[in-house]
């Protein structure tokens, strides 16, 4: 006797379909169900970096930068050019002016920095400015030497600007060594530099700068637009950078 056919109700039909679908999926091979991911779509592996490996060159650069910033801050503090806290409210519109003021104070502080002999020599070489010494030395206490120890950064900056403006070769013959006249604006305080004369300088300075008279020793005086004073002495140009 055949088994009587069983009729399903509308409520049982969705359940029956889900069971059949589940059995069909289970019967598929595993490899057929695994999606193939192309290599170009896979996320890149993170780069591996050696941890704890020191970079001496980078450490040297960081240390030099910190030392430079420290010297600048000390000079600004000594000269009273560090920005002080103001009780006035700060607005975004004040930012350009405050940045300009800070830049000006930092520029003045840099000009007031005193250079060491090695630093000054590196700057001179970088700007193609030569120097000579009768004693072939750089001892500041020896008048026969040519020393840059204690020379103001601003003095060299103005000298380099003059070299670019004139296009003349420069050879320094006097710096901060002893043997020069003393005073607030003198060689000893880093405000004066002696330069050897040549045809280019002897023609450019009188032609380009304003003649302002004679010095006490009858040296002709010429003042540049920057305020530097050039005195033509018998053996050299004496440059005063205020």
Each residue's pLDDT tens digit, 164-216: 999 999 999 999 999 999 999 999 999 999 999 999 999 999 999 999 999 99
CA dihedral 149, 153, 155, 157 (to 10 degrees): 130
H and E: helices and strands count for the chain: 7, 7
Does residue 78 sit in helix, strand or coil? helix
Does residue 86 sit in helix, strand or coil? coil
**Structural tokens at position 62:** 């960081």
Environment class of 170 (CB within 10 Å of its CB; exposed 0-12, middle 13-18, buried 19+): buried
Helix H segments across the chain? Answer: 13-27, 30-33, 56-79, 95-111, 117-126, 153-166, 199-208
- Is 96 a residue whose pLDDT tops 90? no
For position 102, what pLDDT does the model report? 80
Each residue's pLDDT tens digit, 119-165: 999 999 999 999 999 999 999 999 999 999 999 999 999 999 999 99
Does residue 68 sit in helix, strand or coil? helix
């Amino acid at each position: 006797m055949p088994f009587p056919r069983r009729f399903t109700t509308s409520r049982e039909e969705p359940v029956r379909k889900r069971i059949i679908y589940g059995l069909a999926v289970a019967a598929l091979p595993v490899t057929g169900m695994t999606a193939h991911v192309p290599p170009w779509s896979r996320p890149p592996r993170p780069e591996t970096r050696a941890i704890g490996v020191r970079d001496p060159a980078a450490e040297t650069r960081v240390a030099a930068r910190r030392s430079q910033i420290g010297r600048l801050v000390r000079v600004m503090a000594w000269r009273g050019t560090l920005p002080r806290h103001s009780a006035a409210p700060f607005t975004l519109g004040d930012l350009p002016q405050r940045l300009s003021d800070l830049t000006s104070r930092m520029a003045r502080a840099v000009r007031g920095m005193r250079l060491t002999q090695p630093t000054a020599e590196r700057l001179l070489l970088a700007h193609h400015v030569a120097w000579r010494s009768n004693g072939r030395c750089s001892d500041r206490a020896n008048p026969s030497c040519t020393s840059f120890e204690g020379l103001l950064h601003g003095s060299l900056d103005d000298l380099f600007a003059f070299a670019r403006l004139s296009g003349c070769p420069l050879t320094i013959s006097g710096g901060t060594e002893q043997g020069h006249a003393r005073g607030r604006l003198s060689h000893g305080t880093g405000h004066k530099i002696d330069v050897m004369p040549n045809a280019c300088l002897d023609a450019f300075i009188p032609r380009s700068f304003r003649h302002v008279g004679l010095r006490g020793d009858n040296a002709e005086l010429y003042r540049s637009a920057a305020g530097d004073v050039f005195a033509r002495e018998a053996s050299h140009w004496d440059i005063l950078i205020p």
